[in-house]
Amino acid sequence: MKTFSQKSETVEKKWIIIDAEGLVVGRLASLVALRLRGKHKPSFTPHVDDGDNVIIVNADKVVFTGKKYQDKTYYWHTGYAGGIKERKAREILEGRFPERVLEKAVERMLPRGPLGRRQLKNLRVYAGAEHPHTAQSPESLDVKALNSKNARAA
């Protein structure tokens, strides 16, 4: 018996849409990272991008557990001396680009490198309920039904 190795020419990608309203950020990001990598498929090959295309709508309505909404801090560095910056999760979700909370959570769960960057391009996150990908006819994935802990009242 030989080990199966997926070729990039034979990859079949599906389009999946997820409504993030009331879903816990970390649990949703974990599930999306798994789908982007293709680990849910029996044809998973670590060096090939065979994951699905994922669309997330209502990203501004995600929830955190515990006190993370007020206490979780996101850090970044400007590149200059003393240039460490920080922002709380509440400030980001109530700010101009609330979808960045989910984008960063998923990005940090993917491998670093060229393959991880290519897989991250298959993720589209929208703050509202509208998205421009209806022509791809995405399948809906009900994350709330997978586990009761995935959803939480806001």
- Tens of pLDDT, residue by residue over 109-123, are 999 999 999 999 999
Q: What is the pLDDT of residues 33-87, one digit of tens each?
A: 999 999 999 999 999 999 999 999 999 999 999 999 999 999 999 999 999 999 9
For 53-117, give the DSSP string: EEEEE-GGG-B-STTHHHH-EEEEE-SSTT-EEEEEHHHHHTSS-TTHHHHHHHHTTSPSSHHHH
The answer on pLDDT for 153 being more than 80 is: no
- Residue-range domains of the chain with CATH: 14-64+97-150 (3.90.1180.10)
Residues 6+ apart with CB under 8 A from 23: 62, 63, 143, 144, 150, 151, 152
Q: In whole angstroms, what is the distance from residue 50 CA to residue 14 CA?
A: 10
What does the block give as tokens for 105?
């959570």
The answer on pLDDT for 154 being more than 60 is: no
Q: In whole angstroms, what is the distance from residue 79 CA to residue 2 CA?
A: 49
Would strands 73-77 and 84-88 be described as parallel, antiparallel, or unpaired? antiparallel
Mean of the per-residue pLDDT values for the chain?
Answer: 95
**8 in Cβ contact with 48 (< 8 Å):** yes
Q: Please give the model's pTM, rounded to 2 decimal places.
A: 0.92
Q: What is the pLDDT of residues 98-108, one digit of tens each?
A: 999 999 999 99
